[in-house]
Amino acid sequence: MNNITVVKIGGKLIENKSLLNDFILKFSKLNRPKILVHGGGNIATEISKELNVKVDVIDGRRITNEKNLDIATMVYAGKINKEIVSKLQELNCNSIGLSGADGNSIVSKKREVKKINYGFVGDITFINSKFIIDLIKNNLTPVFCAITHNSKGQLLNTNADSIASAISINLSKIHKVKLFYCFEKKGVLKNIKDDKSFLKKIDWKNYKILKGNKNISNGMLPKLENCFYALKNGVNHVRIGDNEMFCGKNNFTELTI
Amino acid sequence: MNNITVVKIGGKLIENKSLLNDFILKFSKLNRPKILVHGGGNIATEISKELNVKVDVIDGRRITNEKNLDIATMVYAGKINKEIVSKLQELNCNSIGLSGADGNSIVSKKREVKKINYGFVGDITFINSKFIIDLIKNNLTPVFCAITHNSKGQLLNTNADSIASAISINLSKIHKVKLFYCFEKKGVLKNIKDDKSFLKKIDWKNYKILKGNKNISNGMLPKLENCFYALKNGVNHVRIGDNEMFCGKNNFTELTI
């Protein structure tokens, strides 16, 4: 089997319809085998507002109560996932939308309550590589949303970056894997205030320096930690960028260890 | 391959959590291969109310505008589908939730505007039997929601009874198929006002008589038409009943032609 490309999309790329359609077109043209993992941007938050459901935030972290989980499941596994799949079908990319419960593909454990009770948030414990590879061998392109399950009948909200990273690491035990994090920025920025100032390369040492200088924004820190973790655990390439990352060389940030 | 059982659930069976859980337990114990098709009961209507989205009804028929479709996709393909799949996983029934867009499994055509413009409602034009059989051969139990697509990037709201019937007819070309319509009533009632008065058997002739006598409720007519259509087109058994239909003989209405 050829190298597998895992692409994760999130942020404004999901919220903005024309950016999303442009991404879907580019993704449909990528060589197979490929896997898509998507977050939900702020769409769940907006629907929560319309439904008068409060989203609690403690220390900058979102809490997922039962109602928030319902909304996340509706928005991620329902609306966003099925819209992406139907658009990929139009472009002759035979895709299949999945939550972690489907085919028991991603199992997670409800996060333990320590300082903060995150609610129905799951940390990944198992990736069903065999199931994912079987789909790929049947010429399907899996499209994962950020909902997993605990094997005991409970759905759990799970970080989409972590899903992309965990799938990539697991598949890299048997295949070569490239992991692309695609969002609305050109990559990791040298200067937070200048969207065009992206780094073509970043290694662990640079990262530590930029982090120390507070030159990397808060939201980017867990994403980069995920990336380096994937590289250290067998993933062959990790790249961060916008839709242009599919259009040529050096149009993104390449991470190295 | 053994005979395939297709079970469709809807109505109050979906709305009532304890009835639904009881059904899921019984369904998990059915011999494989099996396929589940579910509607959404009134859950989408309730969420529409919470979101202040009007549901237009013309001549007793629901109209699906863009917002209604969004809600149907969220509720059917998201919340209900994933909750059922996660509960089946708990019961060691390895299931996979699907809309018609997934794996291009069910293609439909937006209903033509004649007297009424139904909006984003799809009538089935293609069932991807190969894809469904491949899933079954991989020891998976497909769980279909009532959302299909038109292969051109448009999701469409589709009657779950029709989906169950179309899947059954298509699979019956190669395999023996039993089709069970499971809801909150014991079967086709002799007397609409007496829930216990179900008929053990009904054939096309009886049906016409009962219809003429107005002894069959309005909602039941399209369901029964679907059933007879399935029988006439190759499906081996069609039964209508409640959760007890899985517990013994003659606990349901058996249709014959």
Tell me which chain A residues have a C-beta less than 8 angstroms from the C-beta of B147. 82
Closest residue, chain A, to B82 (C-alpha): A101
Closest residue, chain B, to A47 (C-alpha): B51
How far is it, in rounded angstroms, from Cα B249 to Cα A25? 53
Three-state secondary structure string covering A186-197: CCCECCCCCCCC
Instruction: List pLDDT tens digits, range A168-217.
Output: 999 999 999 999 999 999 999 887 788 888 999 999 999 999 888 888 87
Q: Which helix (H) or strand (E) holds A6?
A: strand A4-9
How far is it, in rounded angstroms, from Cα B142 to Cα A81? 17
Option in B74, B90, B151 nearest A79 (CB): B74
Instruction: List pLDDT tens digits, range B120-134.
Output: 999 999 999 999 999
Q: Which helix (H) or strand (E) holds B178?
A: strand B177-182
Closest residue, chain B, to A86 (C-alpha): B153
Query: Peptide bond preceding B33: is omega within 30 degrees of 0, i.e. cis?
Result: yes
Q: Is the pTM of this model over 0.90?
A: yes
Cβ <8 Å between A104 and B97: no
pLDDT of residue A193: 81
Best residue of B73, B87, B110, B128 to probe chain A, by most A CBs closer than 10 Å: B73
Indicate the DSSP class of residue B112: P
Cβ <8 Å between B90 and A140: no
Instruction: Using CB atoms within 10 Å of the CB of residue A52, give its burial: 0 to 12 exposed, 13 to 18 middle, 19+ buried.
Output: exposed
- CATH number reported for the structural domain that contains residue A140 in this entry: 3.40.1160.10
pLDDT of residue B90: 98
pLDDT of residue B36: 98
pLDDT of residue B219: 76
Handedness of CA B212, B216, B217, B220 (dihedral sign): negative
Structural domain including A152 reads: 4-256
| HSE toward the beta carbon, residue B5, CA cutoff 13 A | 16
Tell me which chain B residues have a C-beta less than 8 angstroms from the C-beta of A138. 134
Cβ <8 Å between A153 and B89: yes
How far is it, in rounded angstroms, from Cα A224 to Cα A208? 11
Cβ <8 Å between B155 and A83: yes
Cβ <8 Å between B73 and A94: no
Instruction: List pLDDT tens digits, range B43-91.
Output: 999 999 999 999 888 877 789 999 999 999 999 999 999 999 999 999 9
Q: Does residue B214 register a pLDDT over 90?
A: no
Q: How close B254 gets to chain A, by Cα (Å)? A: 32
Indicate the DSSP class of residue B104: G
Cβ <8 Å between B97 and A95: no
Q: How far apart are the first and last CA of chain B?
A: 26
Percentage of chain B surpassing pLDDT 70? 100
Option in B86, B99, B103 nearest A153 (CB): B86
Tally of domains in chain A: 1
Instruction: List pLDDT tens digits, range A115-166.
Output: 899 999 999 999 999 999 999 999 999 999 999 999 999 999 999 999 999 9
Helices (H) and strands (E) in chain A, counts: 9, 14
The two most distant CA atoms of chain A are separated, in Å, by 48
